[in-house]
A and B are shown apart, each in its own frame.
Chain A
Amino acid sequence: SQTIHQWPATLVQPVGSPLSLECTVEGTSNPNLYWYRQAAGRGLQLLFYSVGIGQISSEVPQNLSASRPQDRQFILSSKKLLLSDSGFYLCAWTGIQNIQYFGAGTRLSVL
């Protein structure tokens, strides 16, 4: 069966520090992968999606970037975090009928 791993679960970082969040999927090959951000009590904002290794589409221009170095690995990065980067970050992959399967999320606090 397919599983998705996302870490870390919680992260507290100072403004101006770098960021690297990792997501890996098991049990499937060549999945479409997604990074979302969720503000407190709000819906999901699509940040990036990827249909294959090295193929990244950005939905919202911002302080973040994404990479897909391996088929089932998706990384969200920043060179210098801003206060506004705080939020709940979710990774997901898409199965049949475009149903999305989410990781447990990373709570990022930028102080």
Chain B
Amino acid sequence: SQQGEEDPQALSIQEGENATMNCSYKTSINNLQWYRQNSGRGLVHLILIRSNEREKHSGRLRVTLDTSKKSSSLLITASRAADTASYFCATDTGRRALTFGSGTRLQVQP
């Protein structure tokens, strides 16, 4: 199974609501990253949280990391229709490549 697994697989909310996505992983990490992918496009890096950090903010994004539970969450506050995309977590375990999860598809209804 994959190192990173997102939950839920799909999420539909109304504009203005908050969106929460979760990621679980299996092995020790150096950092965990979240990426966004608009339909048919490449992934774009959103935020990175190091293994010794518990919470990080960037604009409307809030990421938490619980290394004891091997899980992370991404919260998007006051969502907008433009936030509609797929969101992926990726773990850096010190290998040469990140390991990406299967993603959460977020639909924000205007």
A6 to chain B, nearest CB (A): 8
Which A1-25 residues have a C-beta within 8 angstroms of B? Answer: 6
Is B13 an interface position by the 8 A CB rule?
A: no
List chain B residues, Cβ under 8 A from A44: 43, 88, 100
- Evaluate contact between A41 and B48: CB separation under 8 angstroms: no
Among listed B52-60, B63-71, B91-99, interface-contacting one: B91-99
A57 to chain B, nearest CB (A): 7
**Extra contacts besides A43-B103, A49-B96, A98-B98 (12): CB < 8 Å:** A34-B97, A41-B105, A43-B88, A44-B43, A46-B99, A49-B97, A92-B42, A100-B45, A102-B42, A103-B42, A104-B42, A105-B42
B residues near A (Cβ < 8 Å) are 2, 30-31, 33, 35, 40-45, 48, 88, 90, 92, 96-103, 105
- Evaluate contact between A101 and B102: CB separation under 8 angstroms: no
List chain A residues, Cβ under 8 A from B40: 88, 105, 107
Is A32 an interface position by the 8 A CB rule?
A: yes
- Evaluate contact between B97 and A46: CB separation under 8 angstroms: yes
Partner of B31 from the list A34, A49, A98, A103 (CB cut-off 8 Å) is A98
Chain B: CB-nearest residue to A46: B97
List chain B residues, Cβ under 8 A from A6: 42
Q: Give chain A's interface residue range (CB within 8 Å of chain B).
A: 20 to 34
Q: What are the 8 A-B residue pairs with the smallest beta carbon separation, nearest first?
A: A102-B42, A43-B102, A44-B100, A102-B43, A98-B92, A43-B100, A99-B45, A105-B42
Known: A32-B96, A43-B88, A49-B96. A97 touches B42 (CB 8 A): no
Chain A: CB-nearest residue to B99: A46
Q: CA of A32 to CA of B99 in the docked complex: distance in angstroms?
A: 15
- Evaluate contact between A97 and B31: CB separation under 8 angstroms: yes
List chain B residues, Cβ under 8 A from A34: 97
A59, A90, A102, most chain B CB atoms within 10 A = A102
Chain A: CB-nearest residue to B89: A43
Q: CA of A107 to CA of B41 in the docked complex: distance in angstroms?
A: 10
A44, A97, A105, most chain B CB atoms within 10 A = A44
Partner of A104 from the list B2, B41, B100, B103 (CB cut-off 8 Å) is B41
